[in-house]
């Protein structure tokens, strides 16, 4: 019987979600959103059903000004602007920064204000009473102008630990001025879950701010931003702020991509996202990383490619009987998928599962399974990591079972590289490859130049193969990665080359090669890629 966690406590409790990817996420080092990025990300958050999308800070920089000027129309999310309380010495009506917030296209405005006495004394250098006026005036002005004002209580937990009465008086000022949400911020990210839970409980029970007016905004400096947010919800907070993939200042913010399924699937909360839309999470998380030009984290909770990848033989054996034996939720619930990994950690169950994925039904008692398992383990010790090269794995298996026709044989190859200055004094780097390939009964000898050795080899191979196998024409290399297997061997180390190929229909597959010679390893991966294309295309070998 399946043992997936059944949501128990808090069933049906409405928790509001507030995304600050476009504001706090934009404060991540190395992240620089364009207006087009912001529009696309806001649309994805709206599609998912996030309650509030904080677009940025109107008046702070040209990108945010341009974005607010052409803000996307959101169907489900409240488009929100961010800013700060009025400056000391100015009235709310005469503060240009508040004016920009009021004039913005946002439907709600969230302002940050000080709640730690130390910051009031040092950063603002004003009397503590005056800070309370800054908060109250600003919230009241925004509420009057926009209808909905939110207050981010900066450094609330640090402030509360040092001076609870003052921190509480700051949030009380915002509450009484009409803030819809008072958001308790762990700005420096140093608070631990038991402290968050206890302080939020005190705010509700001792300081009279109801949970349905309280939000939480956590930073990840102790890797507890998600845990802290869940602790705040347990203590009564009913709004959670966070970002896609945990982007944000320094170590980031609470990661909404892990928070959302934990709230929905484990704590039974209603976060305003339809269960049918929860599978969008994996797509949105990965698309977001692609947009930032960084590889999605394979090990990310819920949505990483490895989040439901089973490698250990004992795990796979049990997963084959019931996936809940080694999975805390069903991968499909969040748009992810199960993966069975082949390696030296595998058992017969891994092989059977992978063969099934390849469309091959085998009798679990088939003796050939042991032979295949020994072969995979032997190759793994030589450096062939098949867990990321599914096409080379399929060829290995099918060759072993005698199913792959003899399309061609690479008899020999030769590459020369040249680095020289031409007559104009320009640096020229060129490669030339010579290949000898047997196809049927005939040997072909081809020569090609390239801008590097792999390009020259690929071109020479295609000159020999494509006239006989036109199906290879639409295939191109889409990624090429090299990894040294034992760094201690320095330049004598064995590299593993992983090649990703793509055909005209957008289908992709990975092949690998391993050798102390990087060119030989590349050639092995290329040859597998050609053979896989022909085999999967059902091409008949040329006589």
Ligand X SMILES: CC(=O)SCCNC(=O)CCNC(=O)[C@H](O)C(C)(C)COP(=O)(O)OP(=O)(O)OC[C@H]1O[C@@H](n2cnc3c(N)ncnc32)[C@H](O)[C@@H]1OP(=O)(O)O
Interacting residue ranges for ligand X, rule: CB under 6 A:
24, 27, 57, 60-61, 84-85, 87, 112-114, 123-124, 134, 154, 187, 249
For position 500 contacting ligand CC(=O)C(=O)O by CB under 6 A, the verdict is no
In whole angstroms, how close is the CB of 202 to ligand CC(=O)C(=O)O at the nearest point? 19
Task: Give the nearer residue to ligand CC(=O)C(=O)O in terms of CB position, either 77 or 187.
Answer: 187
In whole angstroms, how close is the CB of 113 to ligand X at the nearest point? 5
Q: Which residues share a beta bridge with 182?
A: 151, 214
In whole angstroms, how close is the CB of 133 to ligand X at the nearest point? 11
For position 117 contacting ligand CC(=O)C(=O)O by CB under 6 A, the verdict is no
The torsion angle over the Cα atoms of residues 389, 390, 391 and 397, rounded to 10 degrees, is 110
Q: Residue 57 binds what, of ligand X, ligand CC(=O)C(=O)O, none (CB under 5 to 8 Å, by partner type)?
A: ligand X
Q: How far is CA 219 from CA 109, 117, 164, 189, 270, in A?
A: 21, 20, 21, 4, 23
Which residue in 15, 18, 22, 24 binds ligand CC(=O)C(=O)O (CB under 6 A)? 24
Which two structure tokens, joined as six digits, stand for 170?
Answer: 């700051």
Q: Residue 114 binds what, of ligand CC(=O)C(=O)O, ligand X, none (CB under 5 to 8 Å, by partner type)?
A: ligand X
For position 112 contacting ligand CC(=O)C(=O)O by CB under 6 A, the verdict is yes
Phi, psi of 386 (to 5 degrees): -80, -5
DSSP at 270: B
Give buried/exposed letters for 256-285 (b at 16+ CB in 10 A, else e).
bbbbbbbbbbbbebebbbeeeebebbbebb
Which residue in 217, 379, 496, 500 binds ligand CC(=O)C(=O)O (CB under 6 A)? 217
Q: At what angle do helices 35-48 and 62-69 cross, to 10 degrees?
A: 50
Q: At what angle do helices 193-205 and 225-235 cross, to 10 degrees?
A: 30
Give me the sheet containing 409-421, strands edge to edge: 409-421, 427-439, 442-450
Task: Give the nearer residue to ligand CC(=O)C(=O)O in terms of CB position, either 46 or 154.
Answer: 154
Task: Give the nearer residue to ligand X in terms of CB position, either 187 or 431.
Answer: 187
Give the burial class of 347: count Cβ atoms within 10 A of its Cβ; 0-12 exposed, 13-18 middle, 19 or more buried: middle
How many chain residues touch ligand CC(=O)C(=O)O (CB under 6 A)? 8
Q: Residue 451 binds what, of ligand CC(=O)C(=O)O, ligand X, none (CB under 5 to 8 Å, by partner type)?
A: none
For position 119 contacting ligand CC(=O)C(=O)O by CB under 6 A, the verdict is no
Residues 501, 479: Cα–Cα separation, whole Å: 7
Q: How far is CA 10 from CA 7, 198, 269, in A?
A: 8, 18, 6
In whole angstroms, how close is the CB of 176 to ligand X at the nearest point? 18
Residues 259, 225: Cα–Cα separation, whole Å: 10
> What are the residues binding ligand CC(=O)C(=O)O (CB under 6 A)?
24, 112, 152, 154, 185, 187, 217, 219
């Amino acid at each position: 019987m399946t043992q997936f966690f059944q949501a128990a406590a808090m069933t049906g409790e409405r928790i509001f979600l507030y995304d600050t990817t476009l504001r706090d996420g934009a404060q991540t080092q190395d992240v620089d959103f364009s207006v087009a990025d912001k529009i696309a990300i806001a649309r994805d958050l709206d599609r998912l059903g996030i309650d509030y999308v904080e677009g940025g800070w109107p008046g702070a920089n040209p990108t945010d000004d341009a974005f607010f000027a052409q803000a996307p129309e959101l169907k489900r999310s409240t488009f929100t602007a961010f800013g700060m309380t009025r400056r000391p010495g100015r009235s709310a009506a005469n503060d240009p920064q508040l004016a920009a917030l009021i004039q913005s296209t946002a439907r709600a405005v969230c302002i940050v204000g000080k709640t730690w006495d130390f910051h009031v004394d040092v950063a603002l250098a004003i009397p503590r009473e005056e800070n309370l006026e800054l908060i109250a005036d600003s919230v009241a002005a925004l509420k009057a102008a926009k209808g909905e004002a939110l207050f981010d209580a900066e450094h609330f937990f640090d402030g509360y630990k040092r001076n609870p009465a003052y921190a509480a008086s700051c949030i009380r000022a915002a509450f009484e001025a009409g803030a819809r949400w008072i958001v308790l911020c762990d700005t420096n990210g140093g608070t631990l879950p038991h402290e968050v839970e206890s302080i939020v409980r005190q705010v509700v029970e001792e300081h009279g701010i109801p949970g349905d007016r309280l939000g939480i905004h956590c930073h990840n400096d102790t890797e507890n931003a998600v845990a802290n947010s869940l602790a705040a919800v347990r203590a009564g907070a009913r709004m959670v702020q966070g970002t896609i993939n945990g982007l944000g200042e320094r170590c980031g913010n609470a990661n909404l991509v892990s928070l959302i399924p934990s709230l929905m699937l484990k704590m039974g909360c209603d976060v305003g996202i339809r269960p049918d839309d929860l599978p969008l999470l994996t797509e949105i998380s990965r698309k977001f990383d692609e947009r930032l030009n960084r590889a999605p984290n394979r090990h990310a909770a819920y949505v990483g490619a490895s989040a439901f990848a089973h490698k250990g033989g004992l795990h796979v054996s049990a997963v084959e009987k019931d996936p809940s034996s080694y999975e805390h939720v069903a991968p499909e619930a969040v748009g992810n998928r199960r993966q069975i990994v082949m390696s030296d950690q595998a058992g017969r169950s891994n092989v059977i599962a992978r063969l099934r994925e390849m469309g091959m039904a085998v009798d679990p008692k088939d003796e050939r399974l042991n032979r295949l398992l020994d072969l995979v383990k032997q190759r793994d010790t030589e450096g062939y990591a098949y867990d990321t090269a599914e096409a080379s794995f399929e060829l290995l298996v099918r060759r072993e079972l005698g199913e792959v026709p003899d399309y061609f044989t690479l008899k020999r190859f030769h590459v020369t590289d040249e680095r020289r200055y031409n007559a104009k004094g320009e640096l020229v780097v060129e490669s030339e490859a010579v290949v000898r390939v047997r196809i049927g009964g005939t040997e072909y000898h081809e020569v090609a130049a390239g801008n590097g050795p792999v390009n020259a080899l690929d071109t020479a191979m295609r000159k020999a193969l494509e006239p006989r196998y036109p199906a290879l024409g639409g295939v191109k290399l889409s990624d090429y990665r090299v990894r040294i297997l034992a760094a201690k061997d320095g330049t004598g180390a064995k590299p593993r080359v992983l090649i990703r190929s793509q055909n005209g229909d957008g289908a992709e597959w990975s092949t690998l090669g391993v050798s102390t010679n990087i060119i030989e390893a590349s050639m092995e991966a290329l040859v597998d890629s050609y053979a896989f294309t022909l085999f999967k295309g059902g091409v008949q070998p040329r006589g």
